[in-house]
Amino acid sequence: MFTCSACRNALPAGSRFCPRCGAAIAALAQKKSSSSTGIIIASAGFLFLCFVIGVLSDHTTAQHGTTQASLSSSPTPAPTKTEQRTQAIKARKEYAKEIDRQLLDKGIESSTYTTGPDATTLVIKDILAGRVRAHELSKNEGLFTELRVLGFKKLIYQNGLEGDLGFGWKWDLTQEK
């Protein structure tokens, strides 16, 4: 829960202005956005990783025949390689959408999406991309681990102000730091 920086009043969820003093909440979110970018990404990634681990756990128990469904008279066949590939692509695209939603909810003007035939590159275009945010992003080991678990091979963080200004940062996720 946020508090107003002007009067320290507790702010209700979804407020645009402080109900006590009228200070704009968007301005408060912008002040906090640079320090919270890594936290937002890590939180979204953690939630998604929990989802993926749950799916993988269900898939593993189904393969070993220990679930109630596998004991029924018509067992579910294991997914084909094509189905697994399709599920992995879908998971990466959903992850990008979730990151994009969370950044937008925090007032960060950005666009997050996947590229490549198997959606293995995550692109974050940030209006305020710069060395400080890129450095903060590079220190987020949890994010890099989650991206690798999901099968991402590359992370691109670039400036999205008024089109492509020609600078950004790229991380090869196929190699450990």
Strands in 121-126's sheet, in edge-to-edge order, are 110-115, 121-126, 154-159, 168-172
pLDDT at 62: 45
pLDDT at 1: 64
pLDDT at 37: 56
pLDDT at 43: 58
pLDDT at 41: 58
**Strand 154-159 and strand 168-172: pairing?**
antiparallel
Q: What is the pTM of this model?
A: 0.56
Residues near 167 by beta carbon (within 8 Å), at least 6 away in sequence = 129, 158, 159
Tell me: the pLDDT tens digits for 54-99? 544 444 444 444 444 444 556 788 889 999 999 999 999 999 999 9
Q: How many CB atoms lie within 10 A of CB 112?
A: 23
- Output the six-digit token pair for 170: 């790229």
**Strand 154-159 and strand 121-126: pairing?**
parallel
pLDDT at 5: 77
pLDDT at 122: 96
Query: Which residues does the chain have with pLDDT short of 70?
Result: 1, 26-74, 162-166, 177
pLDDT at 64: 47
pLDDT at 162: 60
pLDDT at 150: 93
- Output the six-digit token pair for 155: 């992370």
